[in-house]
Amino acid sequence: MRIAMWSGPRNLSTAMMYSFGNRPDFAVVDEPFYAAYLTETGRNHPMREDILASQSRDAYAVAQSMIGPVPENKLHYYQKHMTQHMLPNVPVDWLREVKNVFLLRHPARVVASFAAKYEGLTLKDIGFTQQSDLFGKVLAQGGNPVVIDSHDIRKDPEKMLRLLCSSLDLEWDDAMLHWPAGGHASDGVWAAHWYENVHRSTGFAGPEGDLPDLDAFEQGLVEQAMPHYERLQSFKLG
């Protein structure tokens, strides 16, 4: 089984990769289209040159590798993808050959978290419009995408992960609830900048509190993202 997990940044995406990566039957990959995205857009993200040197910049080659041999001869393959990396030039035919899961987080939480780490934030950077577009493409291909909200996972990890496994016809494994501190061997090179908190974790963080306070600009981004978030919310598990 190949699982393509689609989220925007500052979601629960790294913890989810660690969750699946702690299963002995899964190989994982961390944001494989990142270098191709930076090459095409010219964006000056933190650690840009290191990222470009660490991955293929050819989006077609990356797409083919997603449906090629599973690394390490594992039975299953978990792919952590950022929706904003899926530019118009990136192939999408391969989505027919994977199980597509869409991981949500409230836009206010995403904007607050990302703005603390990155200047010049735009709607394109937070991935909600791209997530909604990809969801539509999977439906148009005849796919049956799964939607899950990170808020629900943090509230009750075992319940939601069991639901997710059931929806994917995947056997449950208790190993998904915990992982060793310090990161995963498959972490992207950008982990040094972005993954400090999750590297200290050994399991999912507890339930989230109230929505954060935002300034007027940040609130404007949230208002633009909300229709896309709410569209997918109507399909979520639980």
Give residue-wise pLDDT tens across range 122-152: 898 899 999 999 999 999 999 999 999 999 9
Residue 87, domain extent: 2-233
In tens, the pLDDT along 30-73 reads 999 999 999 999 999 899 999 999 999 999 999 999 999 999 99
Position with higher pLDDT, 96 vs 120: 96
Looking up residue 15, the CATH number of its domain turns out to be: 3.40.50.300
Count of the separate structural domains present in the chain? 1
Cα 16 from Cα 203, distance rounded (Å): 10
In the predicted model, what is the mean pLDDT of residues 25-34? 98
CA 156 from chain center: how many Å? 19
pLDDT tens column, 77-103: 999 999 999 999 999 999 999 999 999
Phi, psi of 121 (to 5 degrees): -65, 140
In a domain, 124, yes or no: yes
Q: With bands split at pLDDT 50, 70 and 90, how would you rate the model's confidence at 118?
A: low
Asked if pLDDT for residue 120 goes beyond 90, the answer is no
Give the pLDDT score at 225.
96
pLDDT at 91: 95
In a domain, 17, yes or no: yes
Whether residue 107 contacts residue 229, with contact meaning beta carbons closer than 8 Å, is answered with: yes
Residues in the chain: 238
pLDDT above 90 (res 116)? no
In a domain, 238, yes or no: no
Flag whether 66 is in a domain.
yes
**Tokens, residue 50:** 């290191």
